[in-house]
Amino acid sequence: MISKLLSDGTTQHTFVDDAKWIGIQQPNQPMFKTKWTNLDMPVSRTWEFEASDRSKKAGFMKWVVTMVNNKLICDCGGYRYGGGQCKHTKLAHTEL
């Protein structure tokens, strides 16, 4: 993996063997909180939502919802552990 410090203080991680995945790690955050993006996914639209106060205390400032192949995907814990549904995807769906 190649890691590069960007001008805004974040660190960009790229896999050497598979450059399709890029991760952005926030300053002073552990690697497991890195936001990963697959560059081969056909993302047609994205929405950003401000994180709740509880999430901000844990170090998360925003949640991103992306539409990939007509499916809404969120990077919040509620989506991952809630069976693919969260308030952010519901809000993004209302904007469609």
Instruction: Examine the pLDDT at 18 and tell me if it is beyond 70.
Output: no
C-alpha count within 13 angstroms, C-beta hemisphere, residue 67: 11
| pTM of the model as a whole | 0.57
Q: What is the pLDDT of residue 95?
A: 85
Kindly report the number of other CB atoms within 10 A of residue 92's CB atom: 22
Report how far residue 50's alpha carbon sits from residue 87's, in angstroms, rounded to the nearest whole number: 12
Tell which wins on pLDDT, 41 or 78.
Answer: 78
Tell me how far apart the alpha carbons of residues 75 and 96 are, in angstroms, rounded to a whole number. Answer: 19
What 53-56 contacts at long range (C-beta under 8 Å, 24+ apart), as own/partner pairs, is none
pLDDT tens for each residue of 29-73: 998 889 888 877 777 788 999 998 988 888 888 999 988 878 888
pLDDT of residue 58: 84
Top-confidence residue, 30 or 15: 30
Question: Are 66 and 45 within 8 A, CB to CB?
Answer: yes
Residue 11's pLDDT is: 93
Query: Which range (18-22, 59-63, 72-76, 85-89) has the least confidence?
Result: 18-22
Rounded alpha-carbon distances, angstroms, from residue 81 to 4, 25, 39, 43, 88: 31, 22, 24, 22, 14
Give the whole-angstrom CA distance, residue 41 versus residue 60. 24
Domain locations in the chain as residue ranges: 1-40, 41-96
